[in-house]
Structure 1
């Protein structure tokens, strides 16, 4: 599987889309709201993608719940993870069950239209970041860990792999990496004792299958943004924390990635730092530039890691509502809304 994950423009494939999907460096595709009209249409689009690719293709979406849910009309509305604590009246066991059932409901619906993974859960701490906010489970690291573990257990129960983000934590810096380059000036000790805790604990429990680093610079740790830092990704994540799963770059078109240079330089720097798959979204010219000119490779170790994220089931949307796990999760969440 190639190391580039890109996007397509509309609700069906153009000829250019079909050609670019077949490029040997392309191994994944991410979907957005603009690609969606109905469950049946998105299922058909995903089938078109797999037929056009003529090779294994990892299809992903950001479908966390709350304000980050790409498909709505026809899909169950998943609550923001930060709302679960209030929904449960601060009852940890109940909040964990809500997290688990949210994950089951989301994963079953996303898989039923032909998608492999949703980029979830968010492991950031809800501190001062507006872009994170209620996407985070809680303000306390230990509660983030426990609720995220329950969510991951729900994903795994129905066959979806978990992607934790945004390593080592985006919640304690104000700037939004979509439009800015956040710089978190706290000490290394504070970062490791606070934001890193959920990542560290869930990696130790072998719960996290993939991770996405933050486009954030932590000057007391390294001068480079995390997704371009061999120190963060190799020395800390791989060696110190013992993480053996997939590392996705966050979207290389975001302003927070501009510190590495143009699109070609960003892609090269991200793979050199240790990212297995490079996300290039919402900029077709930049993506083509990378495919034509970047010195990046199909690495066998990355390809083998990526293949583990492909869904194994053949569930279809037409039979989803007869699935007992879907029925239970749907009813359970309605009870607490």
Structure 2
């Protein structure tokens, strides 16, 4: 195995199946593979052992995960996160509390041995119709997002885990999901500088170790190439103008925004040329991984990718790994941080109270592709613990009876059919309690509770208030 092949392996961060390391992954790690990404499918009570298994093959491996808190959780996907997401933290607007939450998320990851958290999302949720950011953003203004991005980064990195500001240069003003298609940001250069870039600038000043590129077309910056493949954006803007010298990682290259344009190997080469250091390939086979490696090697040999650029990228991956290995942080448990944030994030209209077991009707929309489909809203379970006999339905029944009704919705402002369901429920039962887990709309029902996110603690906070 020549050094060139090992350099090419060093910049790859693949996902894999199973809760133990497959043989092909172990071999790739021994061949110099620089990273691996964990998803909910890899998580079990033995996840720390899995990470140790990876490190046994390559002590410098960067083990990454998406653990934003709130609705985007991998370690707690089955039961729901112990921490509310960014929207809830922005609503509370207490940077000390955000830093506490970030530190506890970092502690959770550090105890598992994880190197890198693909979080926080520092996107400014400027477009209410955004289908993929929404509650994953701290809010709709750059000042709010910037101060909480800094707090979150400081918290995670205080636990000895690298944070990653995403999705550069800003995914907040889109109406398309880059998992499914290539979104375009129709904003002027002045607007981008005033709105989308300040949170990234703040995170960079705060010492964030990594930045994730977005699969977005931004004509004001580069009319031809998505940000992930744009040297103008990643080298000219991020490196040279904003001064970021940490590791740049792509969003997953199997996302259709770029996968519809080029095969994986070509995406990797183009991204490296643009200034990326690590290629996230969340869905890849053993054969596919080595095909990407070979495409990178071939590009160096034919002169379309400079070996110095590849070595620089591999060096930044190794530098992040070395930073992580040098950390000796011990963070004390702060078990109340998540629930405190969730309680303070509740926004409530009305005074209804539950004294008997309700029917919980969940009409939630399908969440976006960044969210594990099995992640629960948790409200029926949380109410069931306090009011035994609580029942759950997936749609509004034809007969509602006398049982109290709690209607759980998500992003009603974006979905006319959800608003129609709410209107029908209120018409049939004016005493219905509405719980909105997404971006709040106009209050409806006898009581309207906005949790400002989906998490185990958000559901618990709402349930406790309803049964106070």
Structure-2 residue corresponding to 1:150: 151
Structure-1 residue corresponding to 2:316: 305
Matched, 1:139 2:140: yes
In 2, the alpha carbon distance for the partners of 1:80 and 1:210 equals 20
In 2, the alpha carbon distance for the partners of 1:78 and 1:232 equals 33
Structure-1 residue corresponding to 2:171: 170
8 Å contact 2:84–2:341 — kept in the other structure?
no
Distance change (3 Å), C-alpha of 1:182 and 1:244? same
Following superposition, the deviation at residue 156 of structure 1 comes to: 2.7
Give me the TM-score of the superposition, normalised by structure 1: 0.87
29-38 or 299-308: bigger deviation? 299-308
In 2, the alpha carbon distance for the partners of 1:314 and 1:242 equals 24
Give per-residue Cα distances to partners, 1:233-270, cap 9 Å, x unaligned: 11111111111111111111111113641111101100
Residues 84-233 of structure 1: pairs in structure 2 closer than 5 A: 84-86=89-91, 88=92, 92=93, 95-128=94-127, 129-203=130-204, 205-222=205-222, 223-233=224-234
8 Å contact 1:228–1:260 — kept in the other structure?
no
8 Å contact 1:98–1:333 — kept in the other structure?
no
Matched, 1:45 2:50: yes
Following superposition, the deviation at residue 226 of structure 1 comes to: 0.4
Structure-2 residue corresponding to 1:19: 27
In 2, the alpha carbon distance for the partners of 1:78 and 1:181 equals 31
Of the three residues 29, 37, 55, the one matched with 2:36 is: 29
284-293 or 258-267: bigger deviation? 284-293
Distance change (3 Å), C-alpha of 1:75 and 1:67? closer
Residues 249-328 of structure 1: pairs in structure 2 closer than 5 A: 249-258=250-259, 260-284=261-285, 285-294=287-296, 295=299, 299-310=310-321, 311-312=324-325, 325-327=331-333
Following superposition, the deviation at residue 161 of structure 1 comes to: 2.2
Of the three residues 14, 18, 21, the one matched with 1:10 is: 18
Matched, 1:60 2:68: no
Structure-2 residue corresponding to 1:71: 75
In 2, the alpha carbon distance for the partners of 1:104 and 1:63 equals 12
**Gaps (5+ residues) in structure 1?**
317-322
Give me the TM-score of the superposition, normalised by structure 2: 0.64
**Gaps (5+ residues) in structure 2?**
1-6, 301-306, 343-468
Give per-residue Cα distances to partners, 1:86-118, cap 9 Å, x unaligned: 3x3xxx3xx212211111111111111111121
DSSP-derived class of the 1:69 partner: coil
Q: How many residues align?
A: 318
RMSD of equivalent CA atoms: 2.2
In 1, the alpha carbon distance for the partners of 2:313 and 2:148 equals 29
In 2, the alpha carbon distance for the partners of 1:271 and 1:50 equals 25
8 Å contact 1:111–1:117 — kept in the other structure?
no
257-266 or 220-229: bigger deviation? 257-266
Distance change (3 Å), C-alpha of 1:85 and 1:11? same
In 1, the alpha carbon distance for the partners of 2:288 and 2:230 equals 22
